Amino acid sequence: MKNITLESELKIGSEVSAALDSGTPVIALESNVIAHGLPFPQNLETLVQMENAIRSAGAVPATIAVLDGKILVGLEASQIHYFATTPGLAKVSSRDLPIVLATKESAVTTVAASLVAAELAGIKFFASAGLGGVHRAAGSTFDISSDLIQIARSNVIAVTAGVKKILDIGLTLEFLETHCIPCVTYQFDDFPAFYVRSSGFKSPCRMDSLLEISEAIDIHRTIGKGGFIVAAPIDEVDAIDEAVVEAAIVDASAQATRENVYGKGLTKFVMRSVNKATAGKSDAANAAVLISNARLAAELAVIHSARATNPSLTSIDRRIT
Ligand code: PSU
Ligand code: MN
C-alpha cells in the first residue's frame, strides 16, 4: 500500500509554487468549463486569454485538473493543450476526487473540485464564468450543484458573473443565504446572470470598491468561515438579448426532460443547446465573462495583498470613491 499524503496527491506547478512562496497573488481556475463548457479551439484560446489577463494584472494563474490520478494546480502549456483537446474527459466534482485519484484517471474539475484543490494548495482566489446552482425543476429533481455546498465549506473567494441563467436564480440566492455564504456584487445593483447583466433579482449587497470588498473578505476570515462570492456582470458589449436566451433555455430544458438527460450531463446539454439556438452567441458570452472575471479576480487579489502590507490604502480608497 502506498503512503498517502497531501504531497502524493497534489502537484503544484513550479510557477504557482514560486508565487505562493513569494506572496504573489494566485488565481485558481477550473478546467471543466474549458473541456466541456466551450468547444475547441475557442476553449484553448479563452483559457490562454484568461491566464494572460491574470498575469497582466500582476497575479499568477493556476488552472486545476486531474492528470493520471494526481491533482495538478497550475497547468503547463502542453497540459493545457491536452485538457482542451482530449474528448471524453470525466467531469469531477468534489465527491469524485478521491475516486479518480485512486483509479489514476485524468479528469477535469468543476468549480467545486477546483475550490477543494485551491484551498489545499493555499490559493485564496478563484475565478470562473458562473457557479453551478439550484437547477430549474429542483423541486422535483433535487438537482442542486455541489458548487454551492463547496463554496460554503472552502476558504476561497470566488469571482464569477453570478450563476448561469439556465438555473433557478431566485432559489440559488435563497440557498446561498441559507448556507451563510457572503455574496456581493461589484458595481452593480442586481445579481448578474452570466449571459445577461441582470438576473432580475436584487443583489444581496452591492460594493463599489475592491478595497472595501477586500476588507470584507478579511473580516469574514476573522469572524466567519468558508467561501465568499464576488459577482460582476458581463460587460455590456458582450451581453446577449434576455428574451432570446430565455426562450432557448426553456426549449433546451424541455428537450433535456424529453430525452431523460439529468444529473452530471444536464449543464453541458443545456449549454450546448442554448449555444446552437443563439448561433454561437452564448459561447462568445461565456468566453467573455471567463476573461473579465479572471481579470477582476486578479485585480482584487493584488489589492488584497497590497492591503496586507500597507493598511493605509484603505483611507486613500475611501477618499477616491
Ligand atoms: N458555468 C459555465 N460553464 C460551465 C460550468 C459552469 O459557464 O461549464 C460548469 C462548471 O464547471 C460548474 C459546473 O462547476 O458546470 C456545475 O455543474 P453541475 O451543475 O452539474 O454541478
Ligand atoms: Mn447536478
> 277-281: which pairs have CB atoms within 8 A and are 24 or more residues apart?
277/244, 277/247, 277/248, 277/251, 277/252, 278/240, 278/244, 278/245, 278/248, 281/240, 281/244, 281/245
Rounded CA-CA distance 55/227 in Å is 24
Cα 33 versus chain centre, distance: 9
* pLDDT on residue 192: 96
10 Å CB burial of residue 237 (0-12, 13-18, 19+) is exposed
Alpha helices in 278-310 (DSSP H): 281-309
Whether the CB-CB separation of 133 and 167 falls below 8 Å is answered with yes
Ligand 2 centroid, distance to 311 Cα (angstroms): 42
Per-residue pLDDT at 79 exceeds 90: yes
**For residue 314, what pLDDT band results from cuts at 50, 70 and 90?**
low
What pTM does this model have? 0.95
Q: What angle do CA 125, 11, 100 make, to 5 degrees?
A: 95
DSSP secondary structure, 266-282, as one string: HHHHHHHHHHHHTTTHH
Q: What are the phi and psi torsion angles at 107 (to 5°)?
A: -160, 165
Q: Which residue has the cell 478521491?
A: 98
Q: Which ligand neighbours the alpha carbon of 95 most closely?
A: 1
DSSP secondary structure, 49-80, as one string: HHHHHHHHTT-EEEEEEEETTEEEES--HHHH
Q: How far is CA 29 from CA 46, 125, 134, 160, 262, in A?
A: 12, 9, 22, 11, 25
Rounded CA-CA distance 82/72 in Å is 13
Q: pLDDT tens for residues 12-71?
A: 999 999 999 999 999 999 999 999 999 999 999 999 999 999 999 999 999 999 999 999
Task: Tell me the one-letter amino acid at 33.
Answer: V
* pLDDT on residue 267: 86
Pick the residue whose CA is nearest to atom 18 on ligand 1. Answer: 145
* Identified catalytic residue from 124, 164, 165, 281: 164
Rounded to an integer, the average pLDDT of 114-137 is: 96
Q: How far is CA 154 from CA 25, 124, 272, in A?
A: 18, 10, 29
Mean per-residue pLDDT over the chain, rounded: 94
**For residue 259, what pLDDT band results from cuts at 50, 70 and 90?**
very high
Q: pLDDT tens for residues 149-202?
A: 999 999 999 999 999 888 999 999 999 999 999 999 999 999 999 989 999 999
Instruction: Please list the residues that pair with 288 across neighbouring strands.
Output: none
Q: pLDDT tens for residues 205-239?
A: 999 999 999 999 999 999 999 999 999 999 999 99
Per-residue pLDDT at 317 exceeds 80: no
Most confident of 75-79, 141-145, 260-264, 308-312: 75-79
**For residue 315, what pLDDT band results from cuts at 50, 70 and 90?**
very low
Q: In 3-state terms, what secondary structure has residue 155?
A: coil
Q: Grid coordinates in use for 90?
A: 470525466
Domain boundaries, the chain: 6-309
Ligand 1 pocket residues where CB is under 6 Å: 30, 32-33, 36-37, 93, 110-111, 129-130, 132, 145-147, 164, 264, 267, 286
Pick the residue whose CA is nearest to atom 17 on ligand 1. Answer: 132
Q: Grid coordinates in use for 150?
A: 463547496
Per-residue pLDDT at 123 exceeds 70: yes
Q: Which ligand neighbours the alpha carbon of 29 most closely?
A: 1
Percent of the chain with pLDDT over 70: 98
* pLDDT on residue 318: 45
Per-residue pLDDT at 320 exceeds 70: no
Rounded to an integer, the average pLDDT of 110-139 is: 96
Instruction: From 64, 114, 128, 292, give the residue whose CB has the most ligand 1 atoms within 8 Å, as the site to mutate.
Output: 128
Rounded to an integer, the average pLDDT of 114-143 is: 95
Percent of the chain with pLDDT over 90: 87
Active site residue 51: no
Ligand 1 centroid, distance to 176 Cα (angstroms): 17
Pick the residue whose CA is nearest to atom 21 on ligand 1. Answer: 145
6-309 carries CATH number 3.30.465.10? no
Ligand 2 centroid, distance to 166 Cα (angstroms): 12
Active site residue 2: no
Pick the residue whose CA is nearest to atom 10 on ligand 1. Answer: 110
Ligand 2 centroid, distance to 50 Cα (angstroms): 26
* pLDDT on residue 319: 39
* pLDDT on residue 91: 96
Q: Grid coordinates in use for 254?
A: 424541455
